[in-house]
Amino acid sequence: MVQAPQRTSVRGPTFIRLLARLTDVGVPQSRQSLSDRLGHWLDWTHAVVLSTALDGKPSAMDEALIFGSAEEDECTRVRTSLANAIAGDRAFAIARQRGADPSFGEEGGTNEMVDYSVFRQRYLAIQRKIQAATGNLRGRLRDTLAQMTEDTARLAAVDAAMERALSPREQTLLAHVPALLGDHFERLRQAEQDTLADAQISEDTSAILPGAWLDVFRKDAQNVLLAELDVRFQPVEGLLAALRTHSLVSHV
């Protein structure tokens, strides 16, 4: 089976390490701390909003809400549903498991039949689905925090300010992922073509399975989508942790 070229290992979240492994470009380790990078990403208007959220006094609440299992169960349900959608999407299913499907360029197992645009469209569709679902959860959890105590309301305001400041940059960066996968797709295809050509010259093609590169690509694309799902859920998990902590403290 065709394997992706090995790159210098990169430290960091799974999502970053996966992309670094699949791309054909070396990724130098950043010498900046997270706080330094955030300083470059936030302009003065964002800084003012954050300062107001941190220093301002939230409005008084008529009746504090109580965090229960319903919110956490809903987050688990949504995450499981999205992960299952990624695993079950037929564009990224392994061909030998689901049978040949001409609509995805499998006919005859020839490289010429495969068009990356199909995979790009499916990746973008799932990406939009993840963004919408996690954004909805984040807003709901933030609303719950805002109605509990002054401290949690302040945290909700900070999270809202951070989302407004960083979301555009996040969307811009994540929008490049399908193009990176497209380059990976072409490298895998070319690698198999080169291997087949060499094997035909040596008249030894017994160990080569034509089309195996596409299964490698599908698995890699699935892994990237799952890693992106983890990244998108990090703010949701942070808000859930805050709600759990407040719930435990309030019951002590």
144 in Cβ contact with 126 (< 8 Å): no
User: pTM for this structure?
Assistant: 0.77
Instruction: Please tell me the distance from the alpha carbon of residue 48 to that of residue 165, in angstroms, as a whole number.
Output: 11
Share of the chain above pLDDT 90, in %: 39
pLDDT at 140: 94
Cβ atoms within 10 Å, residue 208: 15
**Pick from 232, 1, 249: nearest CA to 126:** 232
In SS3 terms, the chain reads as CCCCCCCCCCCCCHHHHHHHHHCCCCCCCCCCCHHHHHHHHCCHHHHHHHHHHHHCCCCCCCCCCCCCHHHHHHHHHHHHHHHHHHHHCCCCCCHHHHCCCHHHCCHHHCHHHCCHHHHHHHHHHHHHHHHHHHHHHHHHHHHHHHCCCHHHHHHHHHHHHHHHHHHHHHHHHHCCHHHHHHHHHHHHHHHHHHHHHHHHHHCCCCCCCCCHHHHHHHHHHHHHHHHHHHHHHHHHHHHHHHHHHHHHHHCC
> Do 178 and 103 form a contact (C-beta atoms < 8 A)?
no
pLDDT tens per residue across span 78-106: 999 999 999 999 999 875 554 445 445 44
- The residue ranges of every structural domain in the chain are 68-250
Residue 80 in tokens? 């499981």
Q: pLDDT tens-digit profile of 126-168?
A: 999 999 999 999 999 999 998 888 888 888 988 998 888 888 8
Task: Report pLDDT digits (tens) over 208-249.
Answer: 666 789 999 999 999 999 999 999 999 999 999 998 887 655
Contact 193, 199 (CB under 8 A): no
Average pLDDT, the chain: 78
Confidence of residue 114 (pLDDT cuts 50, 70, 90): confident
**Residue 16: pLDDT above 70?**
yes
CA 117, CA 97: separation in Å to the nearest integer?
Answer: 22
